[in-house]
């Protein structure tokens, strides 16, 4: 929970940027980005509490959820502090204004140094699993990403990913689909994935400010001291175009 001392607040997340319209934060791994059926503490409610306490806001604080990250995935997220900002950011997300890049550690090494993966994905709401399917299946949604091999070390590879669509579990499912599951992803990779934290991190987020229209870009590295990230030179990743 957010710690408070008068109006001095130390939120349980890092704030990368904040103004009257948006707040950009670093979502911790294993913390939900918004409320769900688990009723667990989540970044959305933490931000609302931070704003309410810091700025002495009465009543219910507005906060807009613009995009999502899976609970096991850490990294950069933007939330809207006004309904106007939320509407404009959401519109930008739908028209391709957002550029989202990820770092991941995969089991094995992809055959091609660069590649584009295009699949149709279907979510099973009963078990919360996502599957590669045919375009004609009910609930099928198109998914596309680009990847680039950054570095290989033994049985694992550091890979940069740029999403063109934002489907549930997209990177995890598509990488498992080419037999290179994400490290730590026991759900889609099984024993091959190795036990540990999911090695998937939203390290770069770029978008146009909803009011000033200035192009903003935020970069945050994954936990460099943790396995398996510590085996790689993460600075190489920012060179990915």
Is the predicted pLDDT of residue 93 greater than 90, yes or no? yes
**Site of tokens 């995009």:** 67
In sequence order, the β-bridge partners of residue 77 are 25
Is the predicted pLDDT of residue 7 greater than 60, yes or no? no
Architecture of domain 98-206: 2-Layer Sandwich (3.30)
Considering 34-38, 56-60, 137-141, 189-193, the range whose residues carry the highest mean pLDDT is 137-141
pLDDT band for position 10 (50/70/90)? confident
Q: Which range among 26-30, 120-124, 190-194, 220-224 shows the weakest confidence by mean pLDDT?
A: 190-194
Structure tokens given for 163: 């999403």
Is the predicted pLDDT of residue 241 greater than 50, yes or no? no
Mean pLDDT for 80-84 is 98
pLDDT of residue 2: 45
Per-domain boundaries in the chain? 1-97, 98-206
In sequence order, the β-bridge partners of residue 206 are 99, 217
Structure tokens given for 53: 């306490």
pLDDT of residue 12: 82
Examine domains 1-97 and 98-206 and report if their fold is the same.
yes
pLDDT band for position 1 (50/70/90)? very low
Cα gap 67→69, rounded to integer Å: 7
3-state SS track over the chain: CCEEECCEEECCCEEEEECCCEEEEEECCCCECCCCCCCCCEHHHHHHHHHHHHCCCCCCCCCEECCCCCCCCEEEEEEECCHHHHHHHHHHHHHCCCEEEEEEEEECCCCCCEEEEEEEEEEECCCCEEEEECCCCCCCEEEEEEEEEEEEECCEEEEEEEECCCCCCHHHHHHHHCCCCECCCHHHHHHHHCCCCCCEEEEEEEEECCCCCCEEEEECCCCCCCCCHHHCCHHHHHHCC
CB atoms within 10 A of CB 39: 8
Q: How many CA atoms lie within 13 A of 224 on its CB side?
A: 8
Q: Which range among 66-80, 108-122, 191-205 shows the weakest confidence by mean pLDDT?
A: 191-205
Is the predicted pLDDT of residue 4 greater than 90, yes or no? no
- Which of 36, 41, 45, 70 is catalytic? The answer is 70
pLDDT band for position 238 (50/70/90)? low
pLDDT band for position 161 (50/70/90)? very high
Strand 3-5 to 129-133 pairing: unpaired
Return the CATH number of 1-97, one of 3.30.2350.10, 3.40.50.720, 3.40.50.300, 3.40.1350.10.
3.30.2350.10
Q: Which residues contact 212 (CB under 8 A, 6 or more apart)?
A: none
Q: Is residue 4 packed enough to be buried (19+ CB in 10 Å), middle (13-18) or exposed (0-12)?
A: middle
Residue 70 catalytic? yes
Contact 185, 172 (CB under 8 A): yes
């Amino acid at each position: 929970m957010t710690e408070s001392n008068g109006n001095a607040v130390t939120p349980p997340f890092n704030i990368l940027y904040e103004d009257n319209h948006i707040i950009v934060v670093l979502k911790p791994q294993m913390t939900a980005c918004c409320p769900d059926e688990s009723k667990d503490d989540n970044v959305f409610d933490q931000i609302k509490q931070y704003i309410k306490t810091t700025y002495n806001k009465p009543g219910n604080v507005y906060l807009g959820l613009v995009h999502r990250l899976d609970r096991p995935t850490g990294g950069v997220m933007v939330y809207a502090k006004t309904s106007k900002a939320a509407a404009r950011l959401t519109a930008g997300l739908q028209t391709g204004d957002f550029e989202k890049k990820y770092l991941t550690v995969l089991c094995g090494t992809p055959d091609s140094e660069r590649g584009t993966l295009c699949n149709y994905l279907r979510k099973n709401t009963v078990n919360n699993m996502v599957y590669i399917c045919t375009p004609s299946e009910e609930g099928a949604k198109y998914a596309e990403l680009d990847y680039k091999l950054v570095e290989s070390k033994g049985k694992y590879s550091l890979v940069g990913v740029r999403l063109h669509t934002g489907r549930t579990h997209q990177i995890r499912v598509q990488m498992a689909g080419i037999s290179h599951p994400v490290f730590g992803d026991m759900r889609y990779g099984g024993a091959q994935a190795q036990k540990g934290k999911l090695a998937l991190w939203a390290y770069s987020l770029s978008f146009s400010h909803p009011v000033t229209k200035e192009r903003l870009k935020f970069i945050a590295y994954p936990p460099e001291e943790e396995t398996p990230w510590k085996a790689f030179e993460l600075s190489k990743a920012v060179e990915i175009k």
